[in-house]
Amino acid sequence: MVLKTGGATDPAVPVRRTIPRAEHNVSRSQISENALKVLYRLKKAGYQSHLVGGGVRDLMLGREPKDFDIATDAHPEDIRRLFRNCRLIGRRFRIAHVHFGPEIIEVTTFRGQAAGDEEEGDGLVRSDEGRLLRDNVFGTIEEDAWRRDFTVNALYYNIEDFSITDFVGGVADLEAGTLRLIGDPQLRYREDPVRMLRAVRFAAKLGFRLEGQTERGVYDYGHLLADISPSRLFDESVKLFLSGHAVQSFELMRHYGIFGHLYPDTEEALAHEEHHFPLTLVLRAMENTDARVAEGKPVTPAFLYAALLWEPVRRMAEELLAENPDLSRLNALQAASARMVAQQAQRTAVPKRFSIPMREIWTLQARLQHTSGKRPLRLLTHPRFRAAYDFLLLRAEAGEEKQELAEWWTRFQLMESAEQQRAAQAGAPAEGGRRRRPRRRRRSAASGSRSES
């Protein structure tokens, strides 16, 4: 890291460092054509124009960026005047989205430091707890760098001369594999507690270690996540678990004690279940999800959330059956599912487009127990059958359900119609699940067969 020397008031504060094109590996050929269009049009109009954030970070690491973000001194209204395909979004901080078909280039104005804690109009406004409620204070590129979250996300690629500018020691941290918050972690986590989830996500994605104070803050301030809206926490959970690094994210969240703030019922079940059964189930679901992402296959939060919350649902259904022996397992699962979705909505609000299929996956587990008569044939036509069947396989692999039942349904789907009729008359060897100690084996990426429907 390049540090101030010779009388600096704080010798630990990095100074601005400019890396010329000849000394870094970022090339325009690696940047999206549409991002280049935006960069050059801003430059032509007389504005500063920089690629910033994860795009620069990933390119410097030799990775392919997921998206390309741009920072400029042009204000949001200026950006909208330059691009007819632009939409302004956001209330806390105005952001310009420039649309090129399915690709969106995000353009932000350099953020600045407010003179006080509150300003009139569209300035910076904090809650009593220090959380940022509004952040429309514009400033210089250097101020913008110090307002970003992690040093490795505060690198600027200048389209003017193709250099990279580093104000906060991001290059040194990139080389060291260190994830470091910019500024005081206590203040930054209080400003936006979601930064703790972002720290976990980037650590899992990049394979970086958290710098000491950055790490201690995650341990200390997890309770602040209760101040974040459940809908935003759901969106952050999707980024954590559906970006190809679900297993590492899950393990880090539990390590730092923040998993329980988002999924308290699951955390309680994981802590008390014998043989660590739920941990096996959740990990297998996440391994399969990571494998699908790696293979370019579609994934949906519905299936993964079904796995995340299944153990609390199952336990709740068993309690209902114990209280009312005349209740059917299907009705018990339906009641438990509705209760669990309502409880979880207080932490991460699962949209109905995911919670409805998630509940169907759960309740179909009871219907999959019936392998005789006409019910198996009717169940094959259910729109959620494939996802429910894949969930049954997951439960069998984890040792929660009989392997014979999963194998019966596997064979049943491959039979001709006449064979299915005969198999339905005979039924499966045995119905009803039982718990067995799971085998501590992880599925390989090649073995993932789940259909995320």
The HSE-up count of residue 271 (CA atoms within 13 Å, CB side) is: 11
| CATH architecture assignment, domain 1-176 | 2-Layer Sandwich (3.30)
Under the banding of pLDDT at 50, 70 and 90, the label for residue 135 is: low
In this structure, the strands spanning 69-72 and 103-109 are: parallel
Q: Which long-range contacts (CB under 8 A, 24 or more apart) does 419-422 make?
A: 420/376, 420/377, 421/377
Per-residue model confidence as pLDDT tens digits over 275-322:
555 568 999 999 999 999 999 999 999 999 999 999 999 999 999 999
> Could you tell me the residue ranges of all domains in the chain?
1-176, 263-447
Reported as a single tens digit per residue, the pLDDT across 138-179 is 899 999 999 999 999 999 999 999 999 999 999 999 999 999
Per-residue pLDDT band for 129 (boundaries 50, 70, 90) equals: low
Q: In the block, which residue shows the tokens 């932000």?
A: 108
Rg for the chain, CA atoms, rounded: 26
Going by pLDDT thresholds of 50, 70 and 90, the confidence category of residue 194 is very high
HEC string for the chain: CCECCCCCCCCCCECCEEECHHHCCCCHHHCCHHHHHHHHHHHHCCCCEEEECHHHHHHHCCCCCCCCEEEECCCHHHHHHHCCCEEEECCCCCEEEEEECCEEEEEEECECCCCCCCCCCCCEEECCCCCEEEECCECCHHHHHHHCCEHHHCEEEECCCCCEEECCCHHHHHHHCEECECCCHHHHHHHCCHHHHHHHHHHHHHCCEECHHHHHHHHHHHHHHHHCCHHHHHHHHHHHHCCCCHHHHHHHHHHCCCHHHHCHHHHHHHHHCHHHHHHHHHHHHHHHHHHHHHCCCCCCHHHHHHHHHHHHHHHHHHHHHHHCCCCCHHHHHHHHHHHHHHHHCCCCCCCHHHHHHHHHHHHHHHHCCCCCCCHHHHHHCCCCHHHHHHHHHHHHHCCCCCHHHHHHHHHHHHCCHHHHHHHHHHCCCCCCCCCCCCCCCCCCHHHCCCCCC
Q: Which residue has the tokens 């803050």?
A: 217
**Active-site choice (135, 144, 149, 290):** 149
**Torsion (CA) 293, 299, 301, 303 in degrees, nearest 10:** -110
> Tens digits of per-residue pLDDT, 204-262?
999 999 999 999 999 999 999 999 999 999 999 999 999 999 999 999 999 999 999 99
Residue 199 has pLDDT above 90, yes or no: yes
Calculate the average pLDDT of the chain.
Answer: 87
- Looking at residue 394, its amino acid is L
Active-site annotation holder among 67, 78, 220, 235: 67
Q: What angle do CA 156, 159, 161 make, to 5 degrees?
A: 100
**Backbone torsions φ then ψ of 109, nearest 5 degrees:** -85, 140
Q: Is 149 a catalytic residue?
A: yes
pLDDT tens digits, residue range 40-64? 999 999 999 999 999 999 999 999 9
Task: Determine what percent of the chain is predicted with pLDDT higher than 70.
Answer: 85
Looking at the DSSP assignment, which residues form a beta bridge with residue 87? 97
Residue 117 annotated in active site:
no
pLDDT at 445: 35
Catalytic residue among 58, 69, 135, 166: 69
pTM equals 0.83
Determine the pLDDT at residue 429: 56
List 364's β-bridge partners, or say none. Answer: none
Distance, CA of 56 to CA of 437 (rounded, Å): 47
Phi and psi, residue 45, nearest 5° = -80, 0
Residue carrying the six token digits 């959380």 = 131
| pLDDT score at 202 | 97
CATH says 263-447 is which class?
A: mainly alpha
CA distance 98 to 350: 28
For residue 78, indicate whether it is catalytic: no
Q: Which amino acid is at 235?
A: D
- What pLDDT is stored for residue 277 in this prediction? 53
**Tokens, residue 132:** 């940022």
